[in-house]
Amino acid sequence: MRKNIIAGNWKMNTTLPEGLALAKGLNEALKGKTPNCDVVIGTPFTHLASIAAAIDTTKIGVAAENCADQEKGAYTGEVSAAMVASTGAKYVILGHSERRAYYHETAEILKTKVGLALANGLTPIFCIGEVLEEREAGTHFEVVDGQIKDSLFELSPADFGKIVLAYEPVWAIGTGKTATSDQAEEMHAHIRATLAAKFGNQLADDCTILYGGSMNAGNAKELVSKPNVDGGLIGGASLSVENFMPIIEAFDK
C-alpha cells in the first residue's frame, strides 16, 4: 500500500530562529493527533540538525531541499547527501523546478543526486512537471515522462521503490493558479501507467505521487480525494502552522 504524504517546502524562507519556531509550532499542533498521512517539512540546510533535534521526528520527517551531485571533497559551498543524512533528515527534495531553471540542474545531474541520496539512506522526493508553454502545446505528458525516464529509469526496481514523486506543473507553483483536481488526476494516472510499463503494476501502484502547485487549505481536500493523488508538496502554505495544518487534515475522514 502506498503512503499518503503532506510535505512542506520552505524554500529560502525563515531564519534559523523563525524556522525552529515554525517547526516547534507544527510539532505542538500535531501532539495527540494521528494524521492520516505522513508529514514532512523541507527546510534550508542550515536548519536541518536543529529542527531534527527539536521535534518528534517519528511524527514529522525532515527533508533537505537539495544535495550535492558529488560524494565529498573539494566542492566549496556544497552539502552532500551524507551530510544531510547525518543531521537526522530522512528525505531530500530533488529536481524542484526552481533548481532545474535557476541552477541548471540537468536530468544527468539529478540522476547522480538521486543515486547519492539513496546510497545515504535518504528518500528522494523527486519533482517533475511541465512549464506553461509545454502544457499549452499539449506536450506535458511527454515532458513529464522524459523527466522520469532520464533520471530514474536506470534505478533497480528495489531502489525505484524508495522514491516519492511530486508532480508540480511549473505554471501552478507560487502563482495561486492550481491545477484542477481533474488535471492532477489525469497526469498522476498517466505517470502511474508510465511507471507500470517500466517497473510493473505493483511498484507503480505502490509509488506515492504528490501534487504540488498552490495547494492550500481551500483546495487540498478536493485534490487528495482523487485516487492517484497521494498528497502534496506545499510551498507558500507550509510557512505557517495555521495554513499547513488544514492541508494535513485534508486526509481526515
Interface contacts to ligand PEP, rule CB under 6 A:
9, 168, 173-174, 212-215, 233-237
Q: How far is the CB of 168 from ligand PEP (least distance, A)?
A: 5
Q: How far is the CB of 167 from ligand PEP (least distance, A)?
A: 10
In terms of DSSP bridges, do strands 231-234 and 91-94 run parallel, antiparallel, or are they unpaired?
unpaired
Nearest CA to 42 out of 105, 101, 75, 84 is that of 84
Residue whose C-alpha cell reads 512537471 in the numeric block: 129
Q: How far is the CB of 99 from ligand PEP (least distance, A)?
A: 10
Nearer to ligand PEP, 157 or 174 (CB): 174
Nearer to ligand PEP, 105 or 168 (CB): 168
Is 23 exposed, middle or buried (CB count within 10 Å of its CB: 0-12, 13-18, 19+)?
buried
List 98, 130, 134, 168, catalytic entry? 168
Q: Which residues make beta-bridge pairs with 168?
A: none
Q: How far is the CB of 76 from ligand PEP (least distance, A)?
A: 27
Nearer to ligand PEP, 199 or 241 (CB): 241
List 96, 130, 185, 188, catalytic entry? 96
Cell of 120: 545515504
**Other C-beta atoms lying within 10 Å of the C-beta of residue 191:** 21
168 is catalytic: yes
- The answer to whether the CB of 229 falls within 8 A of the CB of 211 is yes
Nearer to ligand PEP, 187 or 233 (CB): 233
56 three-class SS: coil
92 three-class SS: strand
Nearer to ligand PEP, 124 or 213 (CB): 213
- C-alpha 124, offset from chain centre: 8
SS (H, E, C) 204-225: HHHCCEEEECCCCCCCHHHHHC
Q: How far is the CB of 201 from ligand PEP (least distance, A)?
A: 28
76 three-class SS: coil
Compute φ and ψ for 55, nearest 5 degrees. -120, 170
Nearer to ligand PEP, 66 or 214 (CB): 214
Q: How far is the CB of 235 from ligand PEP (least distance, A)?
A: 2
104 is catalytic: no
44 three-class SS: coil
Task: Give residue number: closest CB to ligand PEP.
Answer: 235
Tell me the catalytic residues.
Answer: 96, 168
